[in-house]
Amino acid sequence: MDNLLKLLNQNARLSAKELAILLNSTEAEVSAAIAEYEKAGIIKGYQALINWDKTASSPVFALIELKVSPKRDMGFQEIANRVMQLAEVESVYLMAGDYDLAVFVRGATMQDVAMFVAKRLSTMDSVLSTATHFVLSRYKQDGVILNGDEQEDQRAQMVL
């Protein structure tokens, strides 16, 4: 049911009934499939996609490149486990290329983020170096345009 995942990924608020109509299935089948995906850890949750820049809090986002020395037997998993526990960390990816971990961090101010990197990340064992890049503007996230021109329908209003 790849189409089910695709639809939920676009809009997680579609009801089982609506999904059943879209997929030419039954409500019971759709609910069962979703439960199965949740159990298998394929569906990990349902979140609203929020444009924080438009909220009063407007937090600061940063990408931190981490070079680390992998541990024997554990590889990068151990350091990743420790980094992902930190509440400020939104995403952690293992990267191919110049550095090892890409860590996306959210803080209230630039100062907060800077202190977080200095005190919590760079002090960890096996972290060799960090490079912090502050996000200036978020144009598109998770496939959704946050800040920019949505593609306009350029077709004529009425076409027979």
DSSP calls for 92-119: EEE-SSS-SEEEEEEESSHHHHHHHIII
Query: Which of 11, 47, 57, 137 is in the footprint of another protein by CB under 8 A?
Result: 11
Distance in Å, CB of 23 to another protein, minimum = 7
Residue type, 159: V
Distance in Å, CB of 27 to another protein, minimum = 12
Beta bridge partners of 55: none
Stretch that binds another protein, among 89-97, 102-110, 111-119, 150-158 (CB under 8 A): 150-158
Beta bridge partners of 102: 65, 93
**Binding to another protein by residue 155, rule CB under 8 A?**
yes
Distance in Å, CB of 155 to another protein, minimum = 5
**Binding to another protein by residue 23, rule CB under 8 A?**
yes
**Binding to another protein by residue 48, rule CB under 8 A?**
no
Tokens of 29: 């089948």
Distance in Å, CB of 153 to another protein, minimum = 7
Residue 54: DSSP 8-state:
G
Query: Which of 9, 12, 21, 147 is in the footprint of another protein by CB under 8 A?
Result: 21
Q: From residue 34, how far is each of 2, 8, 42, 159 by CA, in Å?
A: 11, 10, 9, 39
- Please tell me the count of residues contacting another protein according to CB under 8 A: 16
- Quote the crossing angle between the two packed helices 27-39 and 16-23, to the nearest 10°: 110
Query: Which of 1, 16, 18, 59 is in the footprint of another protein by CB under 8 A?
Result: 18
Measured between alpha carbons, how far is 24 from 124 in angstroms, rounded to an integer? 52
Query: Which of 9, 10, 26, 69 is in the footprint of another protein by CB under 8 A?
Result: 10
Which residue ranges make up the site for another protein (CB under 8 A)? 3, 7, 10-11, 18, 21-24, 153, 155-160
